[in-house]
Amino acid sequence: MSHSSKSKRSPTIRDVAAKANAGRTSISRYFNGEAHLLSDKLKARIEAAIQELNYRPNQMARSLKHGSSQLIGLIIADISNPFSVEVLKGVESESMKHGFMTVVCNANNSIKLECEFIHLLKGYRVDGLIINSAGVNDDFLQALKATTLPFVLLDRKIPNIPCDMVGLDNIQSAQMAFKHLVDQGFEALCFITEPIQYNSARQERLNSFQSELQLSPHIKGEIHEIELPNDSLLISTIATFCSNHRGMRKAIIAANGVLSLKIAYALKHLGLAWGADIGFLSFDNLEWAELAGKGITSISQPTADMGKMAVSILLDKLADPKHQEQEHLFQGELVVRGSTTL
């Protein structure tokens, strides 16, 4: 019994030292960036011992000793959002390139859960945070202040507080979307968003759309905030918009990818074909947007590049105590498909 429990325990540095016929100081040097001080023969013995024992250093213990865990905490608002998945890919690939691992937390659109994750990740001694926030409110700001960890915000801004932020130029993108629809001869536009409170990206898209409407009095416009999931409200909103503007060329604008899918279902339920009965434009260029119906015109974001840029800025913060906060905005790209070329 004692033999089987002993065989299951994880190997230690002492085991590696014994197997390699080396002192613990030499093993410690090998793992702590001083392998160049060891002879080639000794290094070869240590490497053979590590492989044979399948030894893995205790990352937590190393972070306590060296002050760096080589871990980056990534908090994302909603793992079901295609935007979040692409961000995750970008963050992970750039982190690994620089020898960092990513600890991913899904806030499930809860600011309360997000605050808990901020405290939790500090306990895991991550070196810094990248946060695609579910929303910026007082609780979130207090959690950020309390953490003292360096952080970069993704697709979110904190009003009146300078901080590192990576995102889309939402104003430019919304203007581009509006101009495209007007140029295509649409006369009535319905902008649908999830609730904008605490979410700067949605606020900017909505405000920009409102500004464009004010500058274009000949265009009829409606703006609706709908909390998901509420399929029946979405269906009735679109049906009412259509009856309010009979005989006009109409288009729906979805403020993000999650809404785009819901609106696609709602249009199907109402028997409306985009590109024939109604126009349809989506923020976020979804994988299926080219395949659905005549294709859905989209504002494409370089989402993976945003994730990579967030890592790059965070690593710069870690390396340079005098790092100046910066806001890096990417330009959106209009991908025109059949849904807006009626």
pLDDT digits (tens, 9 = 90+) for 262-273: 999 999 999 999
User: Domain with 201 in it: what CATH number?
Assistant: 3.40.50.2300
Beta-carbon count within 10 A of 318 CB: 15
- Distances, alpha carbon 59 to alpha carbons 68, 124, 181, 244, in Å: 9, 10, 53, 62
Rounded Cα distance between 90 and 130, Å, is: 12
Read off the amino acid at residue 141. L
User: 195 and 282, same structural domain?
Assistant: yes
Q: How many domains does the chain have?
A: 3
**What is residue 32's predicted lDDT score, i.e. its pLDDT?**
65
User: 220 and 122, same structural domain?
Assistant: no
Beta-carbon count within 10 A of 323 CB: 14
- Is 180 a domain residue? yes
User: 188 and 74, same structural domain?
Assistant: no
Q: Among 111, 102, 108, 110, which residue's Cα sits nearest to residue 129?
A: 102
User: 210 and 323, same structural domain?
Assistant: no
- Distances, alpha carbon 296 to alpha carbons 3, 122, 279, 308, 337, in Å: 64, 42, 9, 27, 5
User: 74 and 151, same structural domain?
Assistant: yes
User: Domain with 39 in it: what CATH number?
Assistant: 1.10.260.40
User: 198 and 143, same structural domain?
Assistant: no
User: 20 and 104, same structural domain?
Assistant: no
Q: One digit per residue, pLDDT tens: the chain, 342 residues? A: 444 444 467 787 788 888 888 887 887 777 766 777 888 888 888 888 888 888 776 555 554 445 567 899 999 998 888 888 899 999 999 998 888 889 999 999 899 999 999 999 988 888 999 999 888 888 988 898 888 889 999 998 887 788 999 999 999 999 999 999 999 999 999 999 999 888 889 999 999 999 999 999 999 999 999 988 889 999 999 999 999 999 999 999 999 988 999 999 999 999 999 999 999 999 989 888 989 889 999 999 999 999 999 999 999 998 887 889 999 999 999 999 999 987
**What is residue 49's predicted lDDT score, i.e. its pLDDT?**
86
User: 123 and 233, same structural domain?
Assistant: no
Q: 94 and 130 in contact (C-beta within 8 Å)?
A: no
pTM of the entire structure? 0.78
Helix spans in the chain (H): 2-8, 13-20, 24-31, 40-53, 59-66, 82-97, 111-123, 138-147, 170-183, 200-215, 231-244, 257-270, 303-319
User: 249 and 181, same structural domain?
Assistant: yes
Angle between helical axes of 138-147 and 111-123 (0-180°, round to 10): 0
- Is 65 a domain residue? no
Beta-carbon count within 10 A of 188 CB: 21
**What is residue 107's predicted lDDT score, i.e. its pLDDT?**
93
Q: Among 313, 308, 306, 285, which residue's Cα sits nearest to residue 168?
A: 306
**What is residue 57's predicted lDDT score, i.e. its pLDDT?**
65
- Distances, alpha carbon 35 to alpha carbons 26, 39, 45, 62, 93, in Å: 8, 8, 12, 16, 27
Q: Among 95, 159, 97, which residue's Cα sits nearest to residue 127?
A: 95
Rounded Cα distance between 3 and 30, Å, is: 30
Q: Which domain holds residue 91?
A: 70-167+304-330
Rounded Cα distance between 254 and 238, Å, is: 12
Rounded Cα distance between 248 and 189, Å, is: 10
Query: What are the φ and ψ backbone dihedral angles of 173, each rounded to 5 degrees?
Result: -65, -45
